[in-house]
């Protein structure tokens, strides 16, 4: 049975009470229901059970679940994305959007005054927007399977990397966990990524709080390749058509 504080991987399908699929870790399910997103990584999701990183009803259902057993749970709105608050619905003059070259339409997600909102309707001169979460006020249904509990130290660190940096992004990190010190060698892909600069502080906090690492070291490697030795008889051609001995060069 999965206990609170356990790091696990979970496969799931998430549905509204009306029967609409809105999230899943399964590519075949997403494809079958016309929800396939080529920017999404479809694989089991790492979850730190009981940490509040998924909706409350799902978090509670994970506690006590059996590894490998499919479970289905209904989640009321109060334990999902909360009730729908009518005070979070506003009417904005259409000209405000026109000034920003934005053409709003019903269902459009946009940022207004620093908050995410959904366009509810567009009428002459006015736009009704809703600052509630898109699924606020809806009861949900989750079908899920805990595929594994993660205990290996390096695998746990990689799972925390995914929690902080994004699903599917941990594969190229190299991890060396020794006692209360972990050394993480960064792949080239994240060295200039602004998202990583934010994620690494969250990662350090998680590793300290939930994995017991007192020291986290990040290593950036910049390797200069040695010039290739010439091969006997090797030639290269310049732009002007002349042929020279030796390997090609800049």
Is residue 143 located within the same domain as residue 61? yes
- Going by C-alpha positions, the residue among 3, 15, 150 that lies closest to residue 72 is 15
Is residue 180 located within the same domain as residue 205? yes
CA 57, CA 149: separation in Å to the nearest integer? 20
The predicted-structure confidence for 157-197, as pLDDT tens digits, reads as follows 999 999 999 998 999 999 999 999 999 999 998 988 999 99
pLDDT at 225: 78
Is residue 146 located within the same domain as residue 70? yes
pTM, 2 dp: 0.81
| 76: β partners | none
Reply yes or no on whether the pLDDT at 211 is more than 70. Answer: yes
For residue 68, the domain's CATH number is 3.10.50.40
Structure tokens that stand for 178 in this block: 């020794």
Burial of 58 (0-12, 13-18, 19+ CB in 10 A): buried
The predicted-structure confidence for 102-123, as pLDDT tens digits, reads as follows 999 999 999 998 999 999 999 9
Beta strand pairing call for 115-123 and 174-178: unpaired
198 membership: H or E segment, kind and range: helix 194-210
Is residue 110 located within the same domain as residue 168? no
Is residue 9 located within the same domain as residue 78? yes
Residue 168 phi/psi, 5-degree rounding, is 85, 5
The predicted-structure confidence for 4-61, as pLDDT tens digits, reads as follows 999 999 999 999 999 999 999 999 999 999 999 999 999 999 999 999 999 999 999 9
């Amino acid at each position: 049975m999965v206990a609170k504080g356990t790091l696990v991987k979970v496969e799931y399908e998430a549905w509204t009470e009306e029967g609409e699929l809105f999230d899943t870790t399964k590519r075949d399910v997403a494809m079958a229901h016309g929800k396939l997103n080529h920017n999404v990584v479809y694989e089991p999701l790492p979850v730190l059970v009981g940490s509040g990183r998924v909706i409350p009803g799902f978090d509670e259902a994970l506690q006590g679940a059996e590894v490998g057993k499919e479970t289905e749970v209904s989640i009321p709105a109060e334990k999902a994305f909360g009730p729908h608050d009518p005070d979070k619905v506003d009417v904005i003059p259409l000209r405000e959007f026109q000034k920003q070259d934005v053409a709003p339409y019903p269902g459009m997600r946009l940022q207004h005054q620093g908050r995410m909102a959904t366009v509810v309707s567009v009428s002459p001169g006015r736009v009704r927007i809703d600052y509630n979460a898109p699924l606020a006020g809806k009861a949900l249904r989750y079908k899920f399977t805990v595929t594994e509990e993660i205990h290996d130290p390096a695998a746990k660190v990689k799972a925390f990397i995914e929690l902080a940096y994004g699903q599917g992004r941990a594969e190229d990190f190299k991890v060396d966990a020794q006692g209360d010190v972990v050394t993480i060698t960064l792949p080239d892909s994240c060295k200039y990524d602004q998202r990583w600069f934010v994620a690494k502080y969250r990662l350090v906090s998680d590793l300290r709080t939930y994995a017991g690492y007192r020291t986290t070291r990040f290593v950036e490697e910049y390797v200069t390749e040695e010039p290739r030795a010439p091969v006997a008889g090797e030639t290269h051609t310049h732009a002007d058509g002349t042929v020279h001995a030796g390997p090609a060069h800049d």
